[in-house]
Structure 1
Amino acid sequence: MRGFSKVLAVLLLGAGPGAAWADADHTQTLWTSWSNTTALSRDWSLVSDVQLRSNDDAEDLRNFIVRAGLSYALNPQLRMAAGFAYIDTYRPGSSTLTEHRSWQQLIASQRIGGCTFSERLRLEQRFIERAGAPDTYSDRLRLQGRVTMPLQDRDKPLERGAFAFLQDEVFFHLSHRQRLNGKLFDQNRLYAGLGWRFSPKLDVEAGYLNQLVLGRSVDTQNHALQLQISTKI
């Protein structure tokens, strides 16, 4: 996966329609997340995350997401994992929609000075409940790149203290996209912010996330404040 960041940059320039950023409907939401890694041995671990996302203007809960999986370290810089995810979408005055996903991923990481670069490739098999239409299945590809930089000593790996981060993720429909938005490109998430590492086992971060979602007829640009806690056991 070395060099994936260059590929990601090309995909961003080529796949994200420039006009959509300007013409999309705009929403403001709040996202919260807790992710955890529990070591089972030197190479094996359990990974999980729980997320809550609000609807527009943070008036009500829109999404509840729980994801869990098993991870294996192929080497110190490369891990693979697979698991399952459950997603509820709440709609005031209407029934809740549920999605089930199985997923597989590879995560590559490396350090240059004090900065950590990570690249993630994730495949998802989505079983989607839809409103006013039959349930459907779709495969999706997600490509994510992230850089984390310590703010105190930029030449040493971060053990404690403040850090800044920049992250981007691109989503592509691989199958049955005619049942969704009819396009190869699904969405893009650009995320940046600040965090504090309390210990090698606890990070807390907050930032701004810009989510562009292409719809069949109307695109949405979501401006989200995201709060995240990451733990290791």
Structure 2
Amino acid sequence: MVHFRYTAILLKQLVFIIICIALTQNLFCQNELKDATGTWLVISGNNSIAKKWRIPTVGVIRAYNLAETTEFGFFRTGLTYAPNAKYNFTLGAAYLDTQPFDHDEFETLTTQVWTYQEFCNSTKLYNSKVSQRFRLEQRWISKPTEDIFNLRLRYRLQFTKDLSEHLYIKVFDEPFLDFEQANINQNRFYLGLGRRITKNLNVEIGYMKNHVGPNNFDRIRMVFLFKTTLYKKAKDNFVNVN
């Protein structure tokens, strides 16, 4: 009962802080749509198909001005090999489409098709976990006026700490290295609170600061994490690094 009350209080405080940030940003930035606080919805699943193999499925919908207009849609999948609980390797593909802030119908629609290679590892420290993710992305980008190829490397360092049996906090930072420009042209910082609903389902909510070139954006990030087992007698070697 004490843990439940503690969890409820923390959840209410975090939601209140996020709402205050969102309302404040929108109040002062209504004339600049790109400066308004937006939303970032993630649905991420790991589907085990054998003892050491699984299929990741990740969908993202990004919107600005508190979900009034969709800015970005993304889906990725692949095949993951997890030899143990600490390491996994993924080969995959992704598709996304995006619109600039002041777009006119589909005249400025940009689409991307990716292939990627990913390596993840995690280390437990008492009631905490430190995770790293390295991802190399090959991107074919189709813009209204040109088609380009881009190679990009991403590195994410993530810290997760249990507050109780069901509640945890998560912090991560992820810089993007663009090989064409030879610099870090994007960075994502996230701080959020997570709740384990069942053994196979987690939900999270938090604040993300996304720097892209000279611009930076405020996002309320909401996440649904799930896992499924598609074979019998599966043992849980799932590493939740999302």
TM range (shorter): 0.7 to 0.9
Compared CA separation, residues 151 and 103, structure 1 to 2 (3 A): same
Q: Quote the Cα distance in structure 1 between the aligned partners of 2:36 and 2:121.
A: 33
3-state secondary structure, aligned to 2:50: coil
Q: Quote the Cα distance in structure 1 between the aligned partners of 2:118 and 2:48.
A: 18
Q: Who wins on radius of gyration, i.e. which is larger? A: 2
How many residue pairs get aligned? The number is: 191
Q: Quote the Cα distance in structure 1 between the aligned partners of 2:117 and 2:58.
A: 15
Q: 2:142 aligns with which of 125, 129, 143?
A: 129
Match of 1:6 in 2: none
Match of 2:45 in 1: 36
Match of 1:101 in 2: 114
Q: CA deviation at 1:59?
A: 2.6
Q: Quote the Cα distance in structure 2 between the aligned partners of 1:35 and 1:49.
A: 4
Match of 1:21 in 2: none
Q: Quote the Cα distance in structure 1 between the aligned partners of 2:50 and 2:66.
A: 43
Q: Quote the Cα distance in structure 2 between the aligned partners of 1:76 and 1:195.
A: 21
Match of 2:218 in 1: 223
Match of 1:82 in 2: 91
Q: 1:144 aligns with which of 113, 133, 156?
A: 156
Match of 1:142, as an amino acid? R
Question: How far does the alpha carbon of each residue in 1:136-164 deviate from its partner, in whole angstroms, 9 at most, with x for none?
Answer: 00100000011111112xxxxxxx41111
Match of 1:45 in 2: 54
Q: CA deviation at 1:57?
A: 5.0
Match of 2:25 in 1: none
Match of 1:68 in 2: 77
Match of 2:82, as an amino acid? A
Gaps of 5+ in 2: 1-33, 229-242
How high is the sequence identity, in percent, across the aligned residues?
27
Match of 1:222, as an amino acid? F
Gaps of 5+ in 1: 1-24, 153-159, 178-182
Over the residues paired in the alignment, what is the CA RMSD in angstroms? 1.5
Match of 2:168 in 1: 163
Compared CA separation, residues 135 and 56, structure 1 to 2 (3 A): farther
Compared CA separation, residues 203 and 80, structure 1 to 2 (3 A): same
Match of 2:197 in 1: 198
TM-score, normalised by the number of residues in structure 1: 0.78
Q: Quote the Cα distance in structure 2 between the aligned partners of 1:137 and 1:74.
A: 33
Q: Quote the Cα distance in structure 2 between the aligned partners of 1:49 and 1:204.
A: 14
Does the 8 Å contact 1:27/1:221 carry over to 2?
Answer: no
Q: Quote the Cα distance in structure 2 between the aligned partners of 1:59 and 1:40.
A: 38
Question: How far does the alpha carbon of each residue in 1:86-142 deviate from its partner, in whole angstroms, 9 at most, with x for none?
Answer: 00113542422211010110000111111111100000000011243x110010000
